[in-house]
């Protein structure tokens, strides 16, 4: 362990499009921490289920895929590399098809249990920035720093539209607004690990903030909570 940096655990939760991924990745880079994109794990399971033509109403079949498929998250100079059975699926897991199908996977108790153990192993020594929808409430309930990001649905849809356009795919803004609103409802109302703001989390509205402003704010909080001696 570095003499200057204490390996605290930082969780960043929030709804889709609130800025979690980019912000968490940059906070991790600033602190020299591991970046955990929990959503990538669920997207990878969803992609595996789609490829196997799994019945998404079959809870046990989905859980079995989560228990048996090999998913690796590898930090790289251009972002997080996501491998599914050794194949780079970093782009494939970000398609609207995967986003539209992920609901039953994320709500599946067996899937979440299988991925919970994997995530906790990654963060057992601290020095991690974990982002998702239940990082502070379920996965790392004792995290020293818990952040909950929010943003307007319209802004979140615009961000998603821009992200897809950069990958050569155009989707109508209204369609994305409807998709995100439905995702919010599904995430908040599911029985297993619903999207909630942890009681001890600090809320940050990112609607009008730049990524740099978000990162600076979270790093400052982390230092206050002990990230730096």
Q: How does strand 145-150 pair with strand 202-205?
A: parallel
Q: Which CATH number fits domain 9-221: 3.40.50.300, 3.30.750.80, 1.10.10.10, 1.20.1740.10?
A: 3.40.50.300
Are residues 183 and 103 in contact, defined by beta-carbon separation less than 8 angstroms? yes
Note the pTM of the prediction, 2 decimals: 0.83
Specify the DSSP class assigned to residue 76. Answer: E
DSSP at 8: -
Spatial distance between the Cα atoms of 148 and 135, rounded to a whole number of angstroms: 10
Q: Which secondary-structure segment (H or E) carries 68?
A: helix 59-68
Task: Tell me the residue ranges of DSSP E strands in the chain.
Answer: 9-13, 34-37, 71-76, 79-84, 87-88, 128-132, 145-150, 202-205
> What is the Cα–Cα distance from 178 to 186, expressed in whole angstroms?
12
Calpha distance 102→70 (Å, rounded)? 18
- Tens digits of pLDDT across the chain (229 residues): 444 456 899 999 999 889 898 999 999 999 989 899 999 999 999 999 999 999 999 999 999 999 999 999 887 766 789 999 999 999 999 998 998 899 899 989 999 999 998 899 888 888 999 999 899 999 999 999 999 999 999 999 999 999 889 988 999 999 999 999 998 998 888 888 888 999 999 999 999 999 999 999 999 999 998 886 4
Q: Residue 208 is encoded by which pair of tokens?
A: 């009008």
């Amino acid at each position: 362990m570095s003499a200057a940096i204490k390996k605290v655990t930082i969780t960043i939760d929030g709804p889709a499009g609130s800025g979690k991924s980019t912000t968490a990745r940059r906070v991790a880079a600033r602190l020299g921490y591991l970046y955990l994109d929990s959503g990538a794990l669920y997207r990878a399971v969803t992609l595996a289920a789609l490829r196997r033509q799994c019945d998404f109403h079959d809870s046990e079949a989905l859980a079995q895929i989560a228990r048996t498929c090999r998913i690796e998250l590898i930090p790289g100079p251009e972002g997080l590399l996501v491998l599914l059975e050794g194949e780079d699926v970093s782009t494939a897991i970000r398609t609207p098809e995967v986003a539209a199908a992920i609901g039953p996977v994320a709500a599946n108790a067996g899937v979440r249990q299988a991925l919970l153990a994997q995530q906790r192993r990654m963060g057992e020594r601290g020095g991690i920035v974990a982002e998702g929808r239940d990082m502070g409430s379920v996965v790392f309930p004792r995290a020293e720093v818990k952040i909950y990001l929010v943003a307007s649905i319209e802004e979140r849809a615009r961000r998603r539209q821009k992200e897809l356009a950069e990958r050569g795919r155009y989707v109508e803004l209204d369609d994305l607004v409807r998709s995100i609103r439905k995702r919010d409802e599904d995430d908040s109302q599911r029985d297993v690990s619903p999207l909630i703001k942890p009681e001890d989390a600090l809320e940050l509205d990112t609607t009008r903030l730049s990524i740099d402003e978000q990162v600076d704010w979270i790093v400052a909080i982390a230092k206050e909570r002990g990230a730096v001696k």
